[in-house]
Chain A
Amino acid sequence: MNTPQQINNNNISTAQQLYMKRHKQHHHFVTLMRLLVLISFLILWEVAAQMKWIDPFFFSSPSNVFTYFISMLVDGSFFKHTGITLFETLVSFMLITVISLVFSVLLWYSKTFADIIEPYLVVLNSLPKSALAPLIIVWLGTGTDTIIVAGISVAVFGSIINLYTGFKEANQEKIKLITTLGGNRFVALKKVVLPSSIPMIISNMKVNIGLALVGVIIGEFLAARKGLGYLIIYGSQVFQLNMVITSIIILCIIAMGLYQAIHFLEHWYLKHK
């Protein structure tokens, strides 16, 4: 197919060149301003702390955070805590994906089953999942299991509902086509419903990875001896605000990284489908 990208570079008109240039300029400007916002915030924070406009004991400062971060790298606690949080988040995320795919397929497969289960799903989905955490701790104790279950509980019900709704929207006429070719509902699932739902499944994953992290941090607040959530809660209890803020910043970076990973998956899929 002739897409605009394939037009020979030598043949670009001046108007097109101008358009490309403007587009690039806009892009550079946005990147520059983004960096500027970050840098001015860091400078303002540092200056405010140095000049005692804010109390660095409570508000920390970029230099304190940096120093603390280096000490975390040196004593290895960075790898230990970040590693465990990352591990728990990824395991929850994978289990959420598998469980919600299996469940939503079952719901799609049997309308009667879906009708029976629906009110329970709605209730479980609207329930604030942090209310379940103490219960999970009593049942599973304090440890990695509890935290993974907490991570799953936050996202899994909403994910099932979203996937099921998405599956239901698959083109009915295409399903009829499968029937005319002699395929049953299971074949329709395999050949039409799942392949046509892949973009929806990926965007659902984007939501889930963020929610899994939320659940894991809630779990670590309540029932952990390691992990970034534990550092945040422990640091706040012993007034080690450097520890708290450094952990929060690491968390920001993890969240961004995980989201980008799914984003790359989406791009890869769009390129190769």
Chain B
Amino acid sequence: MSQKILQCNNVCFSYHSLTGETHALTDISFNVHKGEFISIVGPSGCGKSTLLSLIAGLNTPESGEIILENPAETKIGYMLQQDHLLEWRTIYSNVLLGPEINNSLSKEKEELALRLLKDYGLYRFKDKKPAELSGGMKQRAALIRTMMMQPDLLLLDEPFSALDYQTRLMVSADIGHIIRQSGISTILVTHDLSEAISLSDRIIVLTKRPATIKKEIPVSLTILNDDPLAARNAPEFQKYFSILWKEVSDEYSTANQ
């Protein structure tokens, strides 16, 4: 495997409120390599999103450490569950929000934005407001906004969960494809097991709260191209699905006891 880009060592995190403390993560350790696509699955509310916001630096772990191998040169892109496009801006100016915020707005950035809009089939809609776009298009616009940061590590927090099923398949295939081509390392949080199998190189299963790593499952599917839709028909798909389902459903049944 190629070089490491991120290391999580024994990361612990709790939420505090006046009514008490909620342990979200205990002793999470894993690595991400360059160009690798990792999915994190686990019961709902187990702290998957928390892990992403720790990696993104929005929160600091209570103990343990999160190390970027090359902090100066590793840019992190974070895509949230909803598109959160600002409804008073056009798609084009939404996409340019990142460069606008860190004062890096330049001719090249504008060209990059136009190129990405073309690549992702949104060029025609660049002067429209978000309300005029479908859910799938908005999600793609949100991806462009993230990609404008030219990230080396992409964090995806259930980015497809707000979409209906068909759109979800299409958009996840699209986005999977785009990410593969760009060679960006990715961590995807999802509760859709098929999505995890079809997109990932490795799947990390978390236990119920306080989450620890239950199992790491490397995925290799025999398909000709990186098409996530074709991946669902790969002969190994069912096998992975059964393994994952067993791991995850164990967590649900113990959670309900």
Contact = CB atoms under 8 A, between A and B. Distances in A.
Interface string A182-214: 110001000110011000000000000000000
A181 B104 CA distance: 12
Interface string B78-97: 10111010101000000001
Contacts of A196: 86, 88
A182 B102 contact: yes
Contacts of A178: 101
Nearest to A195: B88
A183 B101 contact: yes
Interface string A55-96: 000000000000000000000000000000000000000000
B58 interface: yes
A173 B80 contact: yes
B102 A174 contact: no
A126 B80 CA distance: 42
A182 B86 contact: no
Interface residues of A, number: 18
Contact of A174 (B86, B101, B132, B149): B86
A83 to B, nearest CB: 38
B101 A187 contact: yes
Contacts of A171: 84
Nearest to A273: B88
Nearest to B52: A180
Contacts of B102: 181-183
B97 A181 contact: yes
B80 A181 contact: no
9 contacts: A171-B84, A174-B84, A180-B78, A181-B101, A181-B145, A182-B149, A183-B101, A195-B88, A196-B86
Interface string A139-173: 00000000000000000000000000000000101
A183 B86 CA distance: 15
B234 interface: no
Interface of B: 56, 58, 78, 80-82, 84, 86, 88, 97-98, 100-102, 132, 145, 149
B101 A191 contact: yes
B98 to A, nearest CB: 4
Given A181-B98, A182-B101, A192 B58 contact: no
Contacts of A192: 86
Interface in A221-267: none
Given A171-B84, A177-B80, A177-B84, 13 more contacts: A173-B81, A173-B82, A173-B84, A174-B84, A174-B86, A180-B80, A181-B98, A181-B145, A182-B98, A182-B149, A183-B101, A187-B101, A191-B97
Contacts of A176: 58, 80
Counting from the closest, the 8 A-B pairs by CB-CB distance are A180-B78, A183-B101, A181-B98, A177-B84, A182-B102, A181-B101, A174-B84, A195-B88
A50 interface: no
A interface SS class: helix
A273 B58 CA distance: 32
A4 to B, nearest CB: 16
A196 B88 CA distance: 8
A25 interface: no
Nearest to B149: A181
Nearest to A173: B84
B58 A180 contact: yes
Contacts of B145: 181
A195 B81 CA distance: 22
A1 interface: yes
Contacts of A174: 84, 86
A174 B132 CA distance: 19
A218 to B, nearest CB: 38
Contacts of B80: 173, 176-177, 180
B89 to A, nearest CB: 8
Contacts of A1: 132
Contacts of B97: 181, 191
A97 B84 CA distance: 29
Nearest to A179: B58
B71 to A, nearest CB: 14
Nearest to B131: A1
A179 to B, nearest CB: 6
- Tell which of B84, B102, B132 has the most Cβ of chain A within 10 Å: B84
A181 B80 CA distance: 11
A178 B86 CA distance: 11
Nearest to A180: B78
A187 B86 CA distance: 14
B86 A191 contact: yes
Contacts of B88: 195-196, 273
A178 B84 CA distance: 10
Given A1-B132, A195-B86, A180 B56 contact: yes
